[in-house]
Structures are given as C-alpha cells and as structure tokens.
Amino acid sequence: MSLLTIDNISVNYGRLTALRNASLTLAKGETFFVTGPNGAGKSTLLKAIAGVVAPKSGTIHFANTDIGGRTPEDIARLGFSMVPEGRHVFGSLTIEENLRLGVGMRDDKDAAERELETIYSVFPMLKDRRYQTAGVLSGGQQQMLVIGRALMANPQLIAIDEPSLGLAPKVIDDVYAVLLKLRDTRGLTLLIVEQSSTRATMTGGRMILLRGGEIVLEGDARELTKGDALKAAYFGYGEHH
Amino acid sequence: MTALLQILFDALSLGSLYALGAIGIALIFGVMRLVNFAHGDYISFCVFALLWPSIDAAAIVFAGQLPAYLLIPIILATGACLSMLSEILVFRRFRNANPATMMIASFALGFVIKYTLLMLFSSRPKSIDLWSELALPVEILDARIPLLQVITIIITVLILAALVAFLKRTRFGLEMRAAAENFTMARMLGVRANAVILLAFAISGMLAASIGLILVTQTGTVDIQMGSSVMLVAFIATVIGGLGSLPGAVVAGFLIGGISVLMQVILPLDVRPFRDAFVYGAVIVVLIWRPNGLFAPRSAKQRV
Amino acid sequence: MTERPSIFMRTLSTPIILIMVLVFFLALAALVNSGPFNQVVIDAMVKVTLVVGLYVFIGNSGVISFGHIGFTCLGAYATAWLTIPPMMKKMSLPGLPDLILETKLPFGVAIVLGGLFAALFALVVGKILMRLSGIAASIATFAMLAVINTVYSNWERVTGATSSVVGIPIVRVVWPYFLVAAAAILIAHLYSISRSGLALRAARDEAIAASASGVDIGRERLTAFVISAFIAGLGGALSAHSVGVVTPDTFYLNLTFICLSMLVVGGMNSLSGAVMGVVVLSVIIQVLRQFEKGVDIGGSILAIPNGLQEITIGIVMVVILIARPSGLTRNTEIVWRGWPFKRVSAAAES
C-alpha cells in the first residue's frame, strides 16, 4: 500500500505552468529523490503535496486520504512534515520553542516530551543552545534545527527541499548521516529534493528527474547514473524545442 | 519638580493610550499583514455599547449602569466579538489580496460601523458619567496628578504584562509568534491559521474596548469620532516602531505621547496651537532616519 | 512592412474612451435633469480630477499616498486667496501678503495657479519624502497631510483657521469642470506613456532590476509626485469654486479615504480604474441617495432610512473587492481594438 500517490497533477502560477502531468508513488520506508535543474518544478511539486499551492488538476493521496485542496496544517496533521528550501527557522524564537512548535499536533504530551529528548540526543549541539534564539545559529545548525523540528511531530513522511543548499560538504555529510539513521531506526519515508543527482547516487533509492515542469526520467538512482540517460535528460542532448 | 512630575504623568498616560492602540494594530498586522483601519471604529462601537440606542444628547446609560466587575468584561467581550466577527465576515475573504485592497476593505468596514452608530445614535456627542470620581487628583510627591492618569498607566502596564505572559508562556502565544514571523512555515508545522488569526482579532478587539473605556472615563463624553484620533496615532506608532514588532509598537506609542506632551510644554505660546504639526514633523524625521522602524523585526526577510 | 504607429497613437483610444465615459455620465445626468444634478455632476468631475491625480502617483509608483488631499487643500486655499474680492480678504485674512490682498484673478487663471502652488510644495517636500519606500513613504505622506491640516486649521490670519473662508466666486456651469477633468485624464495618460512613467512602473514592479537598468527611482517618483500634486491641487481649486467656501477639515481624512476607495475599487494601477471607480461609485451613491429621498415605484413610495446609504456603499465596496480584488478594471486599461471594447493589460501597452 503506497504512502503517497500523486496522479497526473499540474500546477500553475498565474499563466505559467510550473508542473505538468506529474505522477509518482511512494511506499513506506522508501528513500526518494527529486532532481533537476533550477526552475524545473521540484519545489512546486513539494509545495503541492504540502498544500501550499493547489494543483489545477490531478489528485494527491497521502495516507489513504485525498489531500488535494486541503490546508497545510491539515496535511501536516496527517503525518506529513515539510522542510522547505531556505532553512526557515523562526529567528525570534528560541531553539527549544522552534522544536516545540512541531509538537502541537501530538495528543500524547508525554510522548512529545520524550520526543524532544530524542531529538536532542540526535542533535546534541541543539541541546547545548536550547534557550538561545534560533537566529544566531550557523547554516548547518539551522538545517539540523529545521529537520529536528519537522521530526517532532513524528511524521510518516518527511519532505526536504534542498538540504545541501549553502552548506559545506562535511556538513552535508553530517545532515545526511542523521537522515539515514532516522530512516533506519524509525522507518521514516524520505522525499528529498536535490539539484545534483550526486547525493542520490551516494544514498541510493529511487529518483525522478524534472525538467521544464515535467518528469523526464524515473528509476533507481544508482542505475540511472551509470548510463547516459541522466546526462541526456538533464541537458536535453538531441532535443530541439 | 512638581511640574516635571506632572509632565511625566501626562506623557505616560497619553503614551499608554497610544501604545495600547498600536499593539492592537501591530498584532493583526503581524499575522495578516493587514492594517486594520476599522480599529478606531471598534473603539467607538465598544463605547456606544454602554448606552441604550437613542439620539438624545444626554446618554441613557444602559450597560453603563452595571457595576464595574460586570461592565468591564461585557465591554471587553463586545470588542472581542465585533473584532472576530469582522474577521469571519470580511477579512477572511481577503487572505491573499494585495495590501491596498485589504486596507480599503478595512476602511469600508469602519465606514459601515461608523454609520451604523450614526443611524442609531446621531452624530452629536453625548455626555456620560462613567466613574467620574476617578478624575479627582491624587497627591504624589507634592504634585497633584489626576487619579485616572495613574490608573491608565497601571492598567496599561498590567495589560502589557499579561500580553507578554500570554505570548511567551502559552501554546497559543507561541503559535502566534511563529505565525507572525512566517505564516506559511507555521502552517506547515500544523499551526491552525484560522484559529491564530481569530485569536489575534479577539485580543485586538479587547484592547480597543479598553481604550474606549479609558477615553470615556477621561472625557465624560461619547462620540462617534472618539476612536479616530487614537487610531491615527496608533497607526503611525506601529510603523515607526517597526511593522510587525510588538515591543516597537509600545515604545513608539510612548515616544509619540512623550513628544506630544513635550512639544506642548516647550513650544512658545503662540506656536503652541501648531503642536501637532511639530509632532508629525518629528514622525517624518524618524522615518527618514529609520525607514524600517525602530525595531525592524527579523521577519523583514522573505517568507516561504 | 508598414511602420508601427507611435505609442501615442496606439494608446490614444484609452483617454478618448474615458472622456467619452464622462460625456455619457453628463448626458445621463442631463436626462434625469434637475438643478441639484448639476451639483452632482460637478462633484463627480471634481472627484475624477482628484482620483486621476491620485492614480498618477499611486498607480505608477506603487506607493500608497495618504497625503494627496493635502495638495487639494493647498490648491483650494490658493484659489481662494486669489479670487476672493480684496475687500473681503482684507477683513477675514489680514495676514496675507499685500500683493495677494490686492489681487483678484479670473477663475481660470486662479485654478491653474492653485495647481502650480501645490506642485511647488510637492517639489520641495517630495525631495525629502521620495527617499522613502513602501509603507514608510505612505506614513510620511500621511504625516504631511496632517501637518498641512494642522497649519491651515490654526493659522488664523492667513487661512481663517477652522472657520469657513467665504466669498469664493461660485462657478455653477458644468463645462469648466468637465474640461479640467478631461485635461487631467489627458495629462495622466501622457505621463504614463512617457519615458518617466514607464521607468517608474518598472521600478514599481522590480525595483532592483530597474535600478540596475539605470532608472533613478527617486527622481522618477518625484516627477510623478509633482505632476499628481498639480492635478490634485487643480481639483481642490475646482472644488473651492463649486461651493464657494473652504474649510481645512473638508480636505482631510474623509475625502482622503473616499478618493482612495474610489481608486482601489476601480483598479489602482490603471487610469481607467481611476475614472471608472469614480463613475461607478458616484452612480451608486446617487441611486442610493434617491432611495433615501423616496422613489416612486408604481405609485407607492419606497424609501430607505437615513444613514443606510453610507452603510450600503460601504458594503458595496467590500463586495466589489471580494469579487475583484484588483479592482473593477482588474488593473487593465480600456482600449479600442475594434468592436466591442477590449481590455488590454497595461503592461502590453508599453
């Protein structure tokens, strides 16, 4: 039974079609990458799932519920956590307050407290600074914060838009190490947008390539990078539009 | 020394009113990016809720005859309800509209409220006796200060303290602060947009009601235009303080109150009627010096 | 290949259509035909002038100005100073300089001078204000309005303070007002297709890109500010001659919000929006006023209670904005492209 099913959605911004006829399915526990050049529609895809933009056509099912047209807070409450591009920490709130925001959806308050401790154990540097305002953190630390914050709700699926953006390679390694550990220990389903397919290859999992708002390639990450299909799709060799 | 003390209390009590008004506007602006021009009319509405509808010059006090412990909650509730109603009926339709449209919509709403009051009560100011014993002066360090001024300042401080406690210590307060900083991101974390906005409106309405009560007690009259002058200064204070910053709004409110009183004192006699011109001139100076406001909040960045 | 007609020729249809709309409005009023309607039509022409002036600045710069009615006040009092008979002036406004006390200028000259006076003020003040952007600029313009109002409400020897200044020659015929409104539309149009107007709109939409393309945003804004002040001042002067009396509070918050509302409801970023906003709302207000007086429908009189007219207009404005958030004209200009009228995006015109 798939966790997320996207069926033929299209998204418009005014007269601009950002995403066209996109379909994909995600099973629980999978690791799934969305790659492609700038402006291909990757962020739009994630925003459509999150409920921030409404698809003009097509349906999206998450956890057996049709989430098309639902509000972001409703979708979040179904077990979907989104980490948008740009590390949007709440700079005027403390680290602990940032984390606690993700908790409001949990009914069991004790479980929420335990969750906080778990997150602190996964991200010890956050615990050191728990009462400082989030605005003073470095890029990498902010990335850890927003991921930790997204996890506080104990989601089934976490979608991260460009976790590597603006981070040093060593830091990106750390971030991915954490993500994969969580995947293995909690059965977390990962949906990750990355501009470069390198991480996809390193991490393994399925992958789609978006270009010009359409899915032009789909398959296993490692398989795809072996052949020329990926390069061709990325750069549009042999196509004249 | 006594003169100084009197000036200080004048400035503080005037600044308190402006600060309360500015917070009411800043709260809603923070979560919705809307400048609510109807706020002044909420103030007037709450004040008229004390009366029995009539066009006579001497107000027939209706709710105003109730004892304080009933009167205050009722008026506060009136403010909250009116405010929440305007969100549900009007502002909710403009969630994604551009600022100018929202502004005109709020002005139109204020217009409707004002003329409804006009229809029920006529435009003549009415006299009303509400807690007039509070106008008696009190001796503080040899200066005679109207008791009402002292009470205004104390109440404002209490309200501010309660607001801070609410924002920093409660779940709703946390969600509101997050929503004010980045509304969409907050929603993605499960914060219920409508609930937070409604709450902001409710608090704003209660603040309007408090201002109304203070004004009535101060002036002994009830008048349709009552809220406007406070509202205008509050609007300016919100911008000078830094749009979206609550501490900024408070500071700016007291600042304008202070400048206003100061001008009244130091300007030579024949220039004194032009005092307001100097205050507004000072506003322009502040804006040129700090266009983003005194406390431009971090959320001046891009939102998701 | 035939040469493409100049932008002036291509867009000429817009101001022509708008002026025709005014004529139509006049004709309509003439049909309904009675004395009071003259006043209604005159008032509408004045509002058209004011709102068009407002559009020149707000529509092109994107900065919402709360202060333009201040220019209206300046223009109104200026024409009062110039046209009130010297005998009256010496008694009621003794503080005026002797040159002005002795003068009595004809109506046409006085109103233009009134506009120029406002424009001059805008030039001086604008140099300071146009450094600001966005909301700061809006509040600064509001502060300017408040300063003007305070000064005029207190400077007894020059403006009569809060008492009405009477004696302004009343002009009761419609055609001068219509001419000025039409001229305002033409000026506004010429400005918006000019280089300066185009540059300003570019800056409105994408400030950084415009700046990088060499647009001096401050200077272009100042130009729009001054031109719009001239038109607003002209409108104020007209308004003074329509009632013969001026007081500072006529030109303060109420008028500010009425004009802003008409502009936004019509469509803030288009000249057509300015005109249509005034026309549509004026018609609705008139209809409601008639209902207040009582309308004879099939023999029985239907009347609505007093005060309901304003409430209704407020509700109507909200409803229009809910249905069309960017205004009635949806921020497009009305253009003649064959029959029937077509709407063209204001961007496509440039």
Q: Quick: pLDDT tens for B161-171.
A: 999 999 999 88
The whole-number average pLDDT for the span B112-118 is 89
**Which residue of chain B comes nearest to C312, CA vs CA?**
B112
The whole-number average pLDDT for the span A168-190 is 86
A105/B190 CB distance under 8 A? yes
Q: Which residues of A touch B192 (CB under 8 A)?
A: 73
Could you tell me the pLDDT band of residue B299, with boundaries at 50, 70 and 90? very low
Cα separation values, C289 from B116, B121, C23, C27, C303, Å: 16, 20, 22, 19, 10
B115/C307 CB distance under 8 A? yes
A102/B177 CB distance under 8 A? no
Nearest to C136 among B107, B228, B287 (CB): B287
Better-predicted residue by pLDDT, A231 or B6:
B6
The whole-number average pLDDT for the span A103-108 is 68
State residue C343's pLDDT score.
Answer: 54
State residue C68's pLDDT score.
Answer: 96
Buried b (16+ CB within 10 A) or exposed e, B119-137: bebbeebbebebbeebeee
Q: Which residues of A touch B185 (CB under 8 A)?
A: 84, 88, 90
Preferred mutation among B171, B185, B197, B246 to probe A, highest tally of A CBs within 10 A: B185
Q: Which residues of C touch B93 (CB under 8 A)?
A: 322
| Alpha-carbon span C141 to C63, nearest angstrom | 10
Under 8 Å between Cβ of B227 and B42:
yes
| Alpha-carbon span C279 to C22, nearest angstrom | 8
Could you tell me the pLDDT band of residue B52, with boundaries at 50, 70 and 90? low
What's at C303, amino acid-wise? A
- 159-218 in chain B: CB under 8 A from chain C: none
Nearest to B288 among C128, C150, C260 (CB): C128
Q: Which residues of C touch B284 (CB under 8 A)?
A: 128-129, 140, 143-144
Secondary structure element (H or E) that encloses residue A167, with its range: none
Secondary structure element (H or E) that encloses residue A25, with its range: strand A16-27
Instruction: Give strand pairing partners of A82.
Output: A159
Distance from CA of B172 to the nearest CA of A (A): 10
Angle (CA) A7 A12 A13, round 5°: 145
Distance from CA of C264 to the nearest CA of B (A): 7
| Alpha-carbon span A190 to A192, nearest angstrom | 6
Enter the tokens of residue C253.
């918050």
Cα separation values, C164 from A237, C153, C159, Å: 79, 10, 9
| Alpha-carbon span A101 to B91, nearest angstrom | 26
| Alpha-carbon span C67 to A139, nearest angstrom | 44
pLDDT for C89 beyond 80: yes
How many residues would you count in chain C? 350
C259 touches chain B (CB under 8 A): no
C169: DSSP letter: P
A84/B188 CB distance under 8 A? yes
Better-predicted residue by pLDDT, B66 or C161:
C161
Cβ-based contacts under 8 A for chains B and C: 122
Under 8 Å between Cβ of C221 and C128:
no
Classify C334 in phi/psi space as left (phi over 0), alpha (psi -120 to 50) or beta. Answer: beta
Nearest to B178 among A82, A93, A150 (CB): A93
- Are chains A and C touching, using the cut-off of 8 Å on CB pairs and a minimum of 3 such pairs? no
The whole-number average pLDDT for the span B243-271 is 88
> Looking up tokens 């300015």, which residue turns up?
C274
What's at C220, amino acid-wise? E
φ/ψ of residue A212, rounded to 5: 60, 30
Encode pLDDT of C189-204 as tens digits. Answer: 999 989 999 999 888 8
Cα separation values, C330 from A224, B238, C271, C346, Å: 48, 31, 11, 10
Distance from CA of B1 to the nearest CA of C (A): 32
What's at B144, amino acid-wise? R
- 133-152 in chain B: CB under 8 A from chain C: none
Average pLDDT across chain B, whole number: 85
A73/B187 CB distance under 8 A? yes
| Alpha-carbon span B302 to A66, nearest angstrom | 31
A52/B188 CB distance under 8 A? yes
Preferred mutation among B115, B124, B224 to probe C, highest tally of C CBs within 10 A: B115
Average pLDDT across chain C, whole number: 85
State residue B24's pLDDT score.
Answer: 94
A35: DSSP letter: E
**Which residue of chain C comes nearest to B235, CA vs CA?**
C139
Longest CA–CA span in chain B (Å) reads 60
Under 8 Å between Cβ of B281 and B230:
no
State residue B62's pLDDT score.
Answer: 58
pLDDT for A104 beyond 70: no
| Alpha-carbon span C133 to C195, nearest angstrom | 21
State residue C350's pLDDT score.
Answer: 39
What's at C201, amino acid-wise? R
Encode pLDDT of A9-21 as tens digits. Answer: 999 987 888 899 9
Chain centroid to Cα B257, Å, comes to 13
B287 touches chain C (CB under 8 A): yes
Under 8 Å between Cβ of A206 and A33:
yes
Other beta carbons within 10 angstroms of residue B227's beta carbon come to 28
C307: DSSP letter: T
| Alpha-carbon span B115 to B121, nearest angstrom | 10
In 3D space, the residue among C48, C308, A212, C125 whose CA is nearest the CA of residue B116 turns out to be C308
In 3D space, the residue among B246, B32, B300, B23 whose CA is nearest the CA of residue A91 turns out to be B300
State residue C20's pLDDT score.
Answer: 84
The string of DSSP codes covering A36-65 is -STTSSHHHHHHHHHTSS--SEEEEEETTE
In 3D space, the residue among A166, A238, A215, A191 whose CA is nearest the CA of residue A28 turns out to be A191
Enter the tokens of residue A189.
């389903």
B182 touches chain A (CB under 8 A): yes
Could you tell me the pLDDT band of residue C217, with boundaries at 50, 70 and 90? confident
| Alpha-carbon span C282 to C287, nearest angstrom | 9
Enter the tokens of residue A204.
């393994």
Enter the tokens of residue A10.
């299209």
Q: Which residues of B touch A104 (CB under 8 A)?
A: 171, 175, 189-191
Residues of A with CB under 8 A from a CB of B: 50, 52, 71-73, 76-77, 81-82, 84, 86, 88, 90-93, 97, 100-102, 104-105, 135, 149-150, 153
In 3D space, the residue among C222, C197, C224, C229 whose CA is nearest the CA of residue C116 turns out to be C229
Could you tell me the pLDDT band of residue B59, with boundaries at 50, 70 and 90? low
| Alpha-carbon span C287 to C291, nearest angstrom | 6
pLDDT for C345 beyond 70: no
A52/B178 CB distance under 8 A? no
Q: Which residues of B touch C325 (CB under 8 A)?
A: 94, 97-98, 101
State residue B303's pLDDT score.
Answer: 36
